């Protein structure tokens, strides 16, 4: 089978992306749930002219959608208490190639069936201390994209019917469709970049460089709910070829209390302040899997983020194992 033809066919019925990240069926969800659900949008242009900073997520999403005003109100990034891993002098490209080699040897774990759900428990980081709605969140999405569910702390489960597959809800894609795209990626980084450019799933912006457009494609794919090891390795190798990445030289502690590697990429500027804003990918130092994302200011303040506590494949919404 021609894998790239299959990928192109996946794109065939998708309309031109617009500024909306969420399908209409999710409009009823709360702000915190929109933050979690925004990672489902696969074929979508990520805006770099930031008026309201959106915490991407991500990943392994990859993210919380949190609006940021003109003031720098986030928390400072804290280094991990135990400096077990350091990356002083290590470039982002070197780190990503190392991560790709490590990830490629891992098993994919349980691949869900169409009727199973992917469960994720995460900690959302608020943009300011007055935002009490953001915190611990439990989220479920069916592998075939026909429904999602969420539960905020001390609240009841809310289930939303959807139809994500075959372009049923605009630019969103089901976890199953995203998984198929990722398994079709070439192993080599240059070939992966070429494949993504040929697909042009997120229409290139003429105002941005090719590298920025490539980063947009890769960063959306990194947010997949179900991530095959081969696909993640391909994305890492492709990302290693792009400029602008930087690895923090020590482990940091994310919102879930986990010691993680921080990989930073310039996202754009906050138009209200002119300050540069960076995506920060949070990566497990043992598995090299993405376990969260943050949006940080040039001064190192966390403006928003989403840190994974645990994930599992379950048989119904509301189940945890």
Report pTM. Answer: 0.74
Measured CA distances, 144 to 32, 117, 118, 141, 147 (Å)? 23, 9, 10, 8, 8
Q: Say if CB 123 and CB 307 are below 8 A apart.
A: yes
* pLDDT at residue 294 in the model: 94
What is the distance between the alpha carbons of residues 100 and 229, in angstroms, rounded to a whole number?
9
pLDDT of residue 158: 92
Helix (H) or strand (E) run with residue 181 in it: helix 175-183
**pLDDT tens series, the chain, 321 aa:** 444 444 444 444 444 444 333 333 333 333 434 434 444 343 333 333 232 223 333 333 333 222 222 333 344 444 443 345 567 889 999 999 999 999 998 888 788 999 999 999 999 886 445 555 557 899 999 999 999 999 877 788 999 999 888 877 666 789 999 999 999 999 999 999 999 998 877 778 888 889 998 998 899 899 899 999 999 999 999 999 999 999 998 999 999 999 999 999 988 777 777 788 999 999 999 999 999 999 999 888 888 899 999 999 999 999 998
Query: What pLDDT is attached to residue 268?
Result: 78
Burial class (CB in 10 A: 0-12, 13-18, 19+), 253: middle
Query: Of 217, 242, 281, which is closest to residue 60 (Cα–Cα)?
Result: 281
In residues, how long is the chain? 321
Radius of gyration of the chain (CA): 18
Per-residue pLDDT at 291? 95
């Amino acid at each position: 089978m021609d894998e790239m033809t299959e990928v192109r066919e996946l794109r065939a019925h998708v309309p031109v992306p617009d500024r909306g990240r969420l399908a209409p069926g999710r409009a009823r969800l709360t702000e915190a749930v929109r933050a979690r659900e925004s990672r489902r949008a696969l074929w979508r242009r990520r805006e770099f002219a930031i008026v309201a900073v959106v915490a991407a997520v991500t990943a392994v999403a990859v993210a919380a959608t949190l609006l940021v005003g003109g003031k720098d109100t986030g928390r400072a990034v804290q280094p991990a208490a135990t400096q077990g891993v350091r990356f002083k002098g290590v470039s982002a490209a070197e780190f990503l190639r190392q991560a790709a080699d490590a990830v490629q040897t891992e098993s994919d774990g349980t691949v869900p069936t169409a009727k199973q759900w992917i469960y994720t428990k995460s900690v959302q980081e608020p943009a300011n201390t007055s935002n009490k709605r953001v915190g611990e969140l439990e989220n479920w999405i069916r592998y075939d994209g026909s429904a999602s569910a969420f539960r905020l702390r001390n609240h009841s489960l809310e289930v939303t019917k959807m139809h994500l597959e075959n372009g049923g809800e605009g630019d969103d894609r089901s976890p199953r469709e995203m998984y198929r795209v990722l398994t079709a990626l070439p192993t080599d980084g240059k070939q992966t970049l070429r494949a993504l450019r040929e697909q042009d799933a997120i229409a290139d912006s003429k105002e941005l460089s090719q590298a920025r457009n490539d980063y947009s494609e890769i960063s959306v794919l990194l947010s997949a709910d179900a991530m095959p090891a081969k696909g993640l390795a391909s994305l890492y190798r492709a990302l290693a070829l792009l400029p602008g990445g930087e690895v923090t030289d020590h482990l940091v502690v994310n919102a879930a209390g986990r010691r993680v590697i921080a990989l930073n990429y310039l996202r754009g500027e906050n138009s209200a302040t002119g300050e540069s804003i960076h995506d920060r990918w949070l990566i497990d130092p043992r598995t090299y899997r993405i376990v969260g994302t943050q949006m940080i200011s040039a001064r190192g303040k966390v403006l928003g983020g989403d840190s994974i506590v645990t994930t599992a494949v379950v048989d119904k919404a509301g189940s945890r194992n």
